């Protein structure tokens, strides 16, 4: 689901409006220093919900990061959604990262899953299987299977996903949002060419995580 791109994510408009109105109200009825905490809160909300446009690299074999953050896992594992061998790449978002989520590949959503769960620290490996999460199985234009999972974190209590089975996604297209710190896991075919490593800082839609095999379809 695309929409005219705002610089501040629409998910943050109500929060920002309330914070600014409260700040202005206190500014007019009390000494300036009384409103300072509210203005600081407004600035935090403003930076948290920023949603800058991105330049999307690569072609239909390129896998881009679905989120801003830091790589906390690059590992071979069992995909719990498609029951296959896979390479998992995980991106942890702290409260200072942009929290818009974007499609890692060009493709069609074959299936989506929602799992209620805990709110463990999203840097922990067990967060992938125990926390609240929303998963999308995306079939790429070349026939490869990619699973992208939004995982709630210790503070994040709201996963927003605007697509469902049958929807088509373009690489880098905005499809969801997670509020206040979280994680996104991407399960890829095991023979992808990995382009990132643990500790790397990545940016949604701009940073390349991997390249799908070229010259063949799945």
The residues carrying an active-site annotation are 182
Kindly state the tokens that stand for 142: 């070349």
3-class secondary-structure state, position 20:
helix
Q: Report in angstroms the alpha-carbon separations of 55 from 35, 84, 205.
A: 38, 32, 7
DSSP structural state of residue 117: -
DSSP structural state of residue 212: P
Residue 26's H or E segment, with its range, is helix 13-29
3-class secondary-structure state, position 48:
helix
Kindly state the tokens that stand for 88: 């998992």
Query: 188: number of CA atoms within 13 Å, CB side?
Result: 29
Q: How far is residue 101's CA from residue 180's CA, in Å, rounded to a whole number? A: 13
Which DSSP string do the residues of 177-203 spell out, in sequence order? EESSSEEEEEEE-TT-EE---TT-EE-
């Amino acid at each position: 689901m695309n929409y005219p791109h705002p610089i501040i994510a629409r998910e943050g408009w109500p929060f920002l409006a309330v914070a600014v109105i409260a700040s202005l109200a206190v500014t007019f009825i009390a000494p300036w220093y009384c409103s300072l905490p509210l203005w600081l809160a407004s600035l935090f909300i403003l930076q948290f919900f920023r949603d800058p446009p991105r330049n999307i690299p690569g072609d239909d074999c390129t896998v881009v990061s679905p989120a801003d953050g830091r790589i906390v896992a690059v590992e071979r594992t069992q995909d719990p959604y498609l029951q296959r061998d896979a390479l998992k790449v995980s991106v942890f978002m702290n409260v200072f990262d942009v929290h818009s989520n974007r499609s890692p590949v060009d493709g069609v959503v074959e299936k989506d899953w929602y799992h209620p769960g805990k709110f463990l620290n999203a840097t922990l490996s067990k967060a992938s299987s125990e926390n609240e999460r929303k998963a999308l199985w995306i079939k790429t234009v070349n026939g490869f299977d990619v699973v992208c999972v939004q995982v709630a974190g210790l503070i994040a209590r709201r996963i927003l996903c605007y697509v469902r089975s049958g929807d088509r996604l373009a690489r880098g297209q905005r499809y969801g949002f997670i509020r206040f710190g979280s994680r996104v896991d991407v399960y890829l075919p095991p023979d992808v060419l990995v382009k990132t490593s643990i500790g790397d800082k990545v940016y949604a839609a701009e940073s390349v995580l991997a390249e799908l095999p070229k010259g063949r379809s799945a």
